[in-house]
Every structure is written in structure tokens, then in C-alpha cells.
Amino acid sequence: MASQHHKYIFVVGGVMSGVGKGIASSSIGTLLQAKGFEVNLAKVDPYLNVDAGTMNPTEHGEVFVLNSGLETDQDMGNYERFLNRDLSGTDYMTSGMIYKHVIDKERALGYHGKCVEAVPQIRDEIVRRYEHSAKINKSDISVIEIGGTVGDYQNIMFIEAARVLKIRHPDDVIFVMVSYLPIPAKIGEMKSRPTQHAVSQLASYGVYTDIIIARSERVVDARRKEKIAIACNIPAENVVSAPDIESVYDVPLNFERDKLGDIILKSLKLKQKNNAASVAGLSAWKKFAEGVKHVNKEVHIAIVGKYFTTGDFVLTDAYLSVLEAIKYSAYKLGVKPVIHTVNARDYESTKPNYKALTKFDGLLVPGGFGETGIEGKLNVIRYARENKIPYFGLCYGMQLMTIEFARNVLGMKDANTAEINPKAQDVVIDIMPDKKKKLEEGNFGGSMRLGSYPSKLKEGTLARRAYGASLVHERHRHRYEVNPAYVEKIQAAGLVFSGTSPDGRLMEIAELPQGTGTGEHPFFLGTQFHPEFLARPLNPHPLFTEFIKVASQKVKKSVKK
Ligand code: GLN
């Protein structure tokens, strides 16, 4: 029976990059899940970097961390958010990872003296990983997005490996091309020729497109669908129109309207399953996507970070998961999130414009590295603490709030993190001992404390109330930690470490007691981990929800005045 076989859907890009291949792949996942299938999504990145940890986030986008600790491309974040499930480390691979594995194996005589080449050894290693990922996930269907565009030199081997899988399992592998149909302003007509070329380029590799997702500014009309279908050798119904839309969360619903789910099942010779997931269908997702549109009151949140401009554009992808996490909690509370960027460097002068901060309902300092903008962030945190503006610190944002507290409440004027000044009088944030050794060896890749670790939460604290649990698991990515030598002093002065590692050694959450009295604050909390990596549309993160809740209460108050 066909449905017993594992199925593979390879998603490739045609014409150009940046047209939403990641969201298209994620949405295919959401659709198939709603038809009752277990789905895993995987990303193939053609980079020679062994993982995404060493890639510059302002160039490549945010580094997303999985439970396993693997540092991946931000698309993995989209996948987890759209599937509402954790993905495994086998769901991400780079060219670097594959080559390193094959070369290490060759060095260890793993090929028994054979001549080792890209074909077959590299190709077969990729095939092995495609199959392994399916097995680990115990899924029915793997949706595998091949990074880059058809015609790139870098991704050929991944496409070649997919071709081999198709030869082995002709009924179980299909290819979806996410392509782009431009409407040149001077011509005013939607052009399908570049897509036809992309399809024929793919065919020159021996790989035939089954379905085309036609991205464009506008809806692709029947005439063009027909034209593409004839030129590309597929039924017209297999050309799915994907026009630009307001909200990415509508993509699965639009795909469903164009029957993409059924088209995929037909191509894979599958029948919709009859189980709880298929009965629920897309209803939970629909409710969420509708909710996004029915928010009224605004909540203004500023992300105080490092921002880089390229020409007229500000790059914000580096904080993608944070932006998403804020949105999900705001939607859950029925408020409209308006997210602002505050450049930390603007708060480094001797007379920063603090008044500009009062228009925000909440301030957030996200994760980061190095010295840029640090003093500015510290100034903003002090302002938030003293003026009782809700503040949420993520990783570096928690370390900096501890430094700010040490400097301005405990009077340790020189307090700092070893990351910036290891010779400071009070190194309140210090390097983790095992990480120090790695850095001394020049070993930067994968050298942080990475992935999911448990934290136990203190009774009666804000964190404990927000989570409604005493033990939580969160994802980490850091090298430095609160120096254990300062924990007692800091706590005695009023900053509570409400979350710690189960052995009590590592400080995971810092907070001021929630309230309006002296030494209290409506929301002043930081986490050593990255809660944003676990925030999902259908499952917003409790700490973000509490932060937005308090921030929007402030909105209410100011409206009354
Ligand atoms: N730079 C800090 C550290 O390595 C914080 C890292 C982060 O914010 N992800 O500990």
C-alpha cells in the first residue's frame, strides 16, 4: 500500500531568492499536518559553514537553535512555528557538514582505500541523511527545502541526491518549485518565461517539476497557468497561485483554497488520513490567522539592539524569532503589536534622549555579542528599572540587567562582563569555565552552551506564576554566566534569581519582585536562555505573554489619564 512508504517533497527555488520558499515549505507542512499526516520539515543549506553559528546574523539572518543545540538557519524557526513541533538536529544540513563528515571518514580510512569523490560519496551521504532524518522523525512525509535557486552551482549535489531518491522510489518523491512571475512596470504584464527557464534548467539535471507555486504581486490568471502548464509539462491545476499578501499566516489558508494539499496527496498517491488531526483540519490555524486581524488596542514594544542599515533599509531579520514571539502573545491577548527599533548606540551619549523611551509600553533587549551599543543598553535598562517601564531581557539582555543592577543599586561602578572587560573590578558576568578552554584553543564553532536545558523555578516569583510550572526546559546559546561569587550579594540587594539550573549553580532567570512598591517593578525580568525559540503561533510563550500583558495594562492606564 502506497501510504506505508515514507514520502518526500523537495522544495526548490526558481528564478530568484527571497520570494518566500521557507514560508511556502512551512505552509505545505501545516497543510499536510491538517490532513492527518506526521510531517517533518528539513532545510538544506549550501554553505560550507558546518553550522549557522559562525554566520553573520546581519547578513544571513538570525541563528536559530534547536533543542539538540544545533545552530541553524532561521527557516528552521519558521518550520517549528508552522508545525507547532520541535524538529531534530537531523533536519538541518549544510554542505560543510556533509563534506566534513566525508573527509573525516576518509581520514579514518572509512572508505577502505577507495578514491573518494563528490559523486558518489558526497551525494550518497546526502541521500543517507535525507533517509535518516525521515527515520528519526518517524514521520509520514518529509518536506525538504533546498536552499538557493535552481541554477546555483552550490546546491547541485543536493538536487542530484534528491534525483537518486526519486529513481529509487518513483512514487514517493515529488518536486515543488517556488518560482517568481515578475510584472515589469513598463510592460504591465505578468511574465512566465523565467519560470519556464527555471523548470527546464531543473529538467537538465534529470529532475522534473511536479508542482509550481507561482509567487507574484498578483494572482496568476487561468491563461498564464495554462501557458506554464503546457511549457512545463504539468497539469494546469498543479500551478498554484501565491500572490503577495499582508500576513504570512494566511499562506496555508490560501494554499488550501487552491487545493494544494489535495494536489500534493494526489501526486504522492496518498489518501487523506482519518484521524483527530484531519478532523480538526486547519481550524486552529484559521482561528489564529483570523485573530491576527481582529486586534484593536495597540501595544508599543521597542527592541533595543544593534541595527545595521544597508542603503535605505534597516536589517531586522537578526531578531526574527523575538518579533514573532511578541506577535503571538499580543494576538493571544487581543492587542496589536507595534514593534519599534531602538538603536542602542543612540543612548550612549552623555545626555541621551530618554524622553523618547516614554512612548513605549515595553522595552526589550535581545541576545547579542560584543561591545557595540552595550553602554547604551545599560542606560536604557536603568531607565526602565527606575521608571518602572516593563523590561524583558533575553540572554545578553539578562546579563546586562544584572550588570546594571550591580552598578547602580550595589554601587559597583566598574561592574562588567568578562566578554567586554575581564579585568573589571567586579566581573559579575563571567565566562563559563569549560568555554574558556575552548576559546583559548581558538575553537569558536559550536563552542557555546547550546540547546535545551532545564531550569527550576522559585515559588512565589513572577517567572513561576507566568509558567505555571516548577521545572521548564528552554534553549540556550551563551558562553558567559552570572558569576556565582556575586549571586548572594545581588540577591541580598533585591534582584531575585527566580530560575536556576536544577543543581542551583547556573542563574537562568533574574527578576525584581512584581509590584509597584519600593524595590518592586511591574515587569523587570531577564532570562539567560532564549524563550523566543519556543514561542509558537498556536502556543505563545508564557513569559512573552506576561510581558505583553503588563505592557498593555500600562497602555490602559495612560489612556484613562
Ligand atoms: N554574549 C553573551 C554570551 O555569550 C550573550 C549571548 C547571547 O545573547 N546569545 O554569554
Tens-digit pLDDT string for the chain (561 aa)? 334 689 999 999 998 887 889 999 999 999 999 999 999 999 999 999 998 888 877 777 789 999 999 999 999 999 999 999 999 999 999 999 999 999 999 999 999 999 999 999 999 999 999 999 999 888 999 999 999 999 999 999 999 999 999 999 999 999 999 999 988 889 888 888 899 999 999 999 999 999 999 999 999 999 999 999 999 999 999 999 999 888 899 999 999 999 999 999 999 999 888 888 888 889 999 999 988 888 889 999 999 988 766 665 555 668 899 999 999 999 999 999 999 999 999 999 888 899 999 999 999 999 999 998 999 999 999 999 999 999 999 999 999 999 999 999 999 999 999 999 999 999 999 998 877 777 777 777 667 899 999 999 999 999 999 999 999 999 999 999 999 999 999 999 999 999 999 999 999 999 999 999 999 999 999 999 999 999 999 999 999 999 999 999 965 444 343
179 - beta bridge partners?
A: 214
- Of 63, 429, 479, the residue with max ligand 1 atoms within 8 A of its CB, to mutate for a pocket test, comes to 479
Integer angstrom CA distances of residue 293 from 173, 282, 302, 362: 37, 17, 21, 22
For the chain, how long is the longest CA-to-CA vector?
80
Q: Which CATH number fits domain 7-289: 3.40.50.300, 3.40.50.1000, 3.20.20.150, 3.40.470.10?
A: 3.40.50.300
Give the distance (Å) from ligand 1 centre to CA of residue 67. 17
| Residue 530 known to be catalytic | yes
* Phi and psi angles of residue 293, each rounded to the nearest 5 degrees, phi first: -85, -15
Q: How far apart are CA 499 and CA 471, in angstroms?
A: 9
Determine the length of the chain.
561
Task: Name the grid cell of 38.
Answer: 506526521
Told to judge if 300 belongs to the known catalytic residues of this protein, a careful annotator would answer no
Q: Best of 419, 428, 447 to mutate for ligand 1, by most ligand atoms within 8 A of CB? A: 419
- Ligand 1 centre and the CA of 529: distance in Å? 9
Catalytic one among 395, 474, 478, 481?
Answer: 395
The CA-atom distances, in angstroms, between 45 and each of 156, 248, 503 are 12, 22, 38
pTM score of the predicted model: 0.92
What number does the ligand 1 atom closest to the CA of 419 have?
1
What is the whole-number distance in angstroms between the Cα of residue 438 and the centre of ligand 1? 15
Nearest-CA residue for ligand 1 atom 8 is 367
- Say how many Å lie between the CA of residue 393 and the centre of ligand 1: 12
CATH homologous superfamily of 295-552 equals Class I glutamine amidotransferase (GATase) domain (3.40.50.880)
- Which atom of ligand 1 is found nearest the CA of 370? 1
Q: How far is the CA of 456 from the centre of ligand 1 (A)?
A: 21
Which regions of the chain carry the CATH code 3.40.50.880? 295-552
pLDDT in tens, 100-143: 999 999 999 999 999 999 999 999 999 999 999 999 888 999 99
Among the atoms of ligand 1, which is closest to the Cα of residue 394? Answer: 8
Render pLDDT for 146-176 as a digit per residue (tens, 0 to 9): 999 999 999 999 999 999 999 999 999 999 9
Smallest CA separation from ligand 1 atom 9, residue? 367
Residue 402, amino acid: T
Known catalytic membership, residue 232: no
Closest alpha carbon to 398 in 501, 496, 542? 496
Amino acid letter for position 137: N
Cell of 306: 544593534
Residues with C-beta less than 6 Å from any ligand 1 atom: 367-369, 395-396, 419, 477-480
User: Which ligand 1 atom sits nearest the alpha carbon of residue 395?
Assistant: 8
